[in-house]
Chain A
Amino acid sequence: MTFTDEETLLAANASLDDSKADRGSRQILTFVLGAETYGLDILRVQEIRGWSTVTKLPYAPAHVLGVLNLRGSIVPIVDLRMRFGLERAEYTAITVIIVVSVDSAAGRREFGIVVDGVSDVVDVNPAEVKAAPDFGVRVATDCIRGLVSVAQRMVVLLDIDRLIGIDGSEPPARSAQASPAPAAA
């Protein structure tokens, strides 16, 4: 089942009741990138929307495509394929942006990540999560929380804070610069 419709996704959320939380299981939103399936903590997902044209940001790393207006906030959009070093894909009508809320040194921030498509929301029991091996997985290992098997599929659980926060998705803050000497008029 593939959810590309925001409303359906929210409805699915509503049907999962809170009692599951007691058992310590987490709800994970799974999505597809290329041949692999990845997962994100559903609590971090703000919304899911389709692709729209982005305003470019100067001096940004290649995987930061630009910014979008999301309900009045300026939100940066990251192409995960580029971030993971996968081949680029075309953005089509079914390309999806997952808007996530990320914890950073500066507090909570919102980001949008571009993925091929969104799949189910699944329950994951933390006990079943296995550590990722050092090889065989494309993504840098410090972004991975672990691997878990769901319906005979391997899902790579991502640590969204580390994914977005590290290596240049976040440009440095404004640094104090010395003013140059008075130029000759």
Chain B
Amino acid sequence: MTVDLTQFHGAFFEESFEAIDSMEAALLKLDAGAPDQELINTIFRVAHSIKGGSATFGFGEIASFTHSLETLLDELRSGSMQVTLATSDLLLKSVDVMRAMLRCVQAQQPIDAQRVSDLQFDLELMIARKTAVAAAASPGAAAGASRAQAPATAEPRASRWRIAFRPYPQLFARGIDPLRMLRELSALGALQVRAELADVPRFADLDPRSCYLGWSLELNGSVTHGDIAQVFEWAEGDCALQIELLDTPMQEPPVAVATQPVASSAEPAAAGAKPTADAPQLGAHDSGSIRVNVEKIDELMNTVGELVITQSMLSQLGASIDGPGAAKLRAGLAQLERNMRELQESVMRVRMLPINVVFSRFPRMVRDLAQRLGKQIELRLTGEQTELDKTVLEKIGDPLVHLLRNSIDHGIELPDARLAAGKSPTGVVHMDACHRGGNIAVEVRDDGGGLNRDRILAKARERGLVGPHDVLTDEQIYELVFMPGFSTADQPTDVSGRGVGMDVVRRNVMELGGQIELRSEPGKGSKCVITLPLTLAIVEGQSVAVGTETYIIPLISMVESMQLRSTSVSRVAGRGEVFLFRGYYLPIVRLHELFGVQPRTRDLDEGLVVVAEGESHQRIGLFVDDLLSQQQVVIKSLEANYGYVEGVSGATILGDGSVALILDIPEIIRALSVRAAA
């Protein structure tokens, strides 16, 4: 029976690339001094699988090369050869070559035969030179992390619990405060809280001594049922409580072979696991996960977005309907709204991936770069499991790469210089990701020399960006680093220093609706924090009215809103109207003038001023007629059918079906200063 194998090619390539990634990750974790047997087994399994698969598909060159690789790995696995820095390097080179070969074959292009045979020769040479080693590699869990490697990610087995806590109204009267319980729970592990407000009556009907709130919780941690039950002991009889165990948390995106040393592994150390079945399968996926085409998920997101808009339109209509059945209709619509919100959250979570997807390429990059520059660098990655939306994830990679390169190239000093400064010769670069509020914060920190204030100032003076006698605060000097074309490197290394970096990084971050902040201590190091919204498609905004038009101000740009008295407004020649806010004079931007619409009032006393903030803490006061509600809005593109409008970042569809424009505050501020400068 002849089977057309080409239909399996796609899967083979996809899985092979992933397998190679996991092999690379394992190699980077391998400490030459105390090699982890589990990691070696992993690497061996990958090579073996790829060999089998490529043989089946007739990719001879790959099969042959991988065979040599497998032989070397077998020696390492059995302990008859020792893992040294040289072997690690060779293996990493093999990873590169295998990737290149796979890419060529996938694109049906010829393989670089010379490169392959050169490396294959090196592999065979090493095998021939093997020295008999006394002891086998130590079994079991890995020894501590080593240079240029991410820390072991093994964690104690965590469980995931869902808890439904619904107090009865008399709970408060019994002297019980749910806040205390939630606080206790949050100390047991990672707690996600969702409050249920469905039973909270209208404000006028609310008895403040009764408890109407309920909570749906998710707790992640090494916790038992008993631990959780104990927290709620006091409330027994005064609440409805449900505690259920969910599955163990999902692993990272399915890889062909697990890369984490599992503490309770039963495999005998020496033998290692038998490789899995032959191609086309390269190894079982994690049970409980499936591959989904990205387009399907995008479609799903769009449809859900449309649903949200439709539901909100219905709710609006429902509010204005009277007559029999109206109350039931409204209750039904309220329920629909709750369902929609849950649906939206669920779908958004489908698109969330751990930032490790981006982090994982850094260890290799750091290792290569450090080697090239002759520096010693330790990369620490924490918070790799922090999840963010796929679209944000895709765009955050480049800015982070640039920051990392900056730290390594400009931040961390050469080992001698570090020793002279009383530091350890190995510099540390720490990359951390965590959720903060409704955002994700990614921090890149190094213990290098920090930003050289004087050098930056000198360079800026050289470029004419700053006058020879201007005095600048530290903050203003750091701001200079974000200027286009700026770099204090005397000679641009081919890595960075061509000076095209930080301004682009900031622009990328701002385009994602985020912010970037730079801090430094001379001699001690620098820290750069990027804050991004969790998802691109939705923004939290404050809607404002100007005449018959509605505009949305993203909450991330909003500082405060206030009523202004026209007596506290002054006119400054050439700068228009200004007012005093927290010690600074801010320009007033009349939205009706900016956009050419007819307002309800032009009188500053009658309208409201919204203080908004853009890049580098620049603030303005936006004059509007009225403040409407705050809401989450789905961002719709204006550029798809129309194009770019200055000061507008997109549009959204309101509950009544009409279109509202979303303001781009940094853009408005920028345009203002350009006009003022003119």
Residues of A within 8 A of B (CB): 53, 55-60, 67-69, 72-76, 109-111, 170-174, 177-183, 185
Contacts and interface: CB of A to CB of B under 8 A. Distances in A.
B44 interface: no
Contact of A58 (B503, B548, B646): B646
7 contacts: A58-B595, A58-B646, A67-B642, A75-B641, A179-B484, A181-B466, A182-B480
B643 A171 contact: yes
Interface of chain A: mostly helix, strand, loop or mixed: loop
Given A55-B660, A181-B465, A109 B640 contact: yes
Contact of A73 (B466, B641, B646, B657): B641
A85 B503 CA distance: 44
Given A58-B596, A68-B659, A69-B657, A179 B636 contact: no
Contacts of A57: 642, 645, 661
A28 B618 CA distance: 55
A67 B653 CA distance: 11
B479 interface: yes
Contacts of B648: 58
B500 to A, nearest CB: 12
Given A74-B638, A173-B643, A182-B616, A69 B658 contact: yes
Contact of B653 (A72, A173, A180): A72
Given A177-B674, A180-B677, A74 B640 contact: yes
Interface residues of B, number: 49
Q: Give the 5 A-B residue pairs with the shortest CB-CB distance, closest first.
A: A55-B659, A58-B595, A171-B643, A174-B644, A76-B642
Contacts of A68: 659
Contacts of A174: 644
Contacts of B161: none
Nearest to B472: A182
B207 interface: no
Contacts of A73: 636, 640-641
A56 B642 contact: no
Nearest to A112: B641
Interface in B573-588: 584
Given A76-B642, A180-B674, A185 B660 contact: no
A68 B661 CA distance: 11
B415 interface: no
Contacts of B549: 55-56
A76 B641 contact: yes
Given A55-B660, A69-B653, A179-B483, A74 B643 contact: no
Contacts of A173: 639, 643-644
B106 interface: no
B212 interface: no
B309 interface: yes
Contacts of A170: 642-643
Contacts of B673: 180, 183
B651 interface: yes
B306 interface: yes
Contacts of A56: 549, 595-597
Nearest to A173: B644
B647 interface: yes
A167 B583 CA distance: 47
